[in-house]
Amino acid sequence: MPVDTQQSSSMSRKAMKAELLDAETELKLAYAWRDHRDEEALHRLITAYMRLAISMASKFRRYGAPMNDLIQEAGLGLMKAADKFDPDRGVRFSTYAVWWIKASVQDYVMRNWSMVRTGSTSSQKSLFFNMRRVQARLEREAMAQGQELDRHQLREMIATEVGVPLRDVEMMEGRLSGSDFSLNATQSSEDEGREWIDALEDDGPRGDEIVEQGHDQEALRGWLADAMGKLNERERFIVRERKLRDDPRTLESLGNQLSLSKERVRQLEAAAFQKMRKSLEAKGSEVHNLLA
C-alpha cells in the first residue's frame, strides 16, 4: 500500500474515533476559544470535526492531488473556520465550517492546476469560466436555425455575449486549446457527466458569507417587525406607505387620505420613527454588530 494511502487511512481512523459534539458543548467550546483564546477548547473543536474535513477532502482525490495534501488543506480550512466563527450568530459550527473547508481545498486544487493560471483580469476570469458554455450554446442555437458559423463569427458572438474584447477571446481560445484538459471534459465515467468546471469556486459570495448574511437578515427582519408592532395602526400605515413601498407616497397624498395636514403627517411619521428607534436601541450591541 502506498505511503500516502497508509497515512491518510491512519488519519481517517483516528478522526472517526473523535468525540461527537452536541450543540451545547460545541457552543461552549466556541465561546471559550473566541473570548478566552482557550487552545484546549480549540483543539477539541478541531479534532471533533476533522472527520468532516477528511470526508470533504476525499471528494477531490480524482484531481490527482495527494490525499495527505488534500487533508492538510482541509484542516487549514477547518482552523480558519474555527478562528472566524461567531457563536452569537446562531449557526452550527459544522454548517459554517463546510464552506471554509471546501474553499481551502478548491484553492489548493486550482493553485496546482496550470489552466487556472491563464489570466487574472476580470475579462480573462469571465472568459475562463464562461467561454466554453457560451460557445456551445451559440453553436446549438445556430444549428437549430440552420446556420453555420465560421470561427471568426463565433469569436465575435462570444465576445459580445461575455462582454469582452475580441482579442481576449482569441487569446483564451488559444490557451484553452493547449495540452491541459478541457474544463468541459467529464471527470470520470462514474460522475454521470459532471464537468471539471463544476468543481471550481465562482467569484460570487462564499457560502459561509451567504449563511451569515441570511441569518443576519432574518434577525433584522424580526427586530423590525417587533419595532413595527410597537406602533398604532395609523403610524404603521404611514411608515409602510412612506418607507416600504417601491413608490413611496408623499406627505400631501397621505394627508388627503387621512384628512390631516401635511405637517401633521410629518409629525406622526417622526413620532413613529422615534418609537421604532427606541425599540431597536433596546437590542443594544446585537443591532450594532449586524449593522456594522
CATH number assigned to the domain comprising residue 37:
1.20.120.1810
Per the structure, the count of domains in the chain is 3
pLDDT score of 79: 92
Domain end marker among 89, 112, 135:
112
pLDDT by 10s per residue, the chain, length 292:
444 455 556 666 666 676 788 889 999 999 999 899 899 999 999 999 998 889 888 887 866 778 888 889 999 999 999 988 988 888 888 888 988 998 888 778 766 654 444 444 556 656 665 777 888 888 888 888 888 888 888 888 888 888 888 888 887 776 656 545 555 566 555 545 566 556 555 555 555 566 666 666 777 777 778 888 888 999 989 988 888 778 888 989 998 999 999 899 899 998 888 888 887 777 654 544 544 4
Q: Is 195 helix (H, G, I), strand (E, B) or coil?
A: strand
Domain end marker among 112, 141, 156:
112
What is the C-alpha to C-alpha distance for residues 285 and 291, in angstroms, rounded to an integer?
Answer: 10
pLDDT score of 202: 56
pLDDT score of 290: 47
CB 51 within 8 A of CB 16: yes
Report pTM: 0.42
Do both 89 and 15 map to the same domain? Answer: yes
pLDDT score of 142: 85
Domain end marker among 169, 199, 229:
199
Do both 216 and 280 map to the same domain? Answer: yes
Do both 107 and 73 map to the same domain? Answer: yes
Do both 172 and 186 map to the same domain? Answer: yes
| Structural domain of 134 | 118-199
CA distances from 6 to 2, 62, 114 (A): 6, 18, 28
Do both 92 and 180 map to the same domain? Answer: no
Q: At what angle do helices 50-58 and 67-84 cross, to 10 degrees?
A: 130
Do both 234 and 156 map to the same domain? Answer: no
Grid cell 487552545 is found at: 39
What is the C-alpha to C-alpha distance for residues 163 and 285, in angstroms, rounded to an integer?
Answer: 44
Do both 11 and 92 map to the same domain? Answer: yes
List own/partner pairs for 251-260 with CB under 8 A and 24 or more apart: 258/234
Do both 131 and 78 map to the same domain? Answer: no
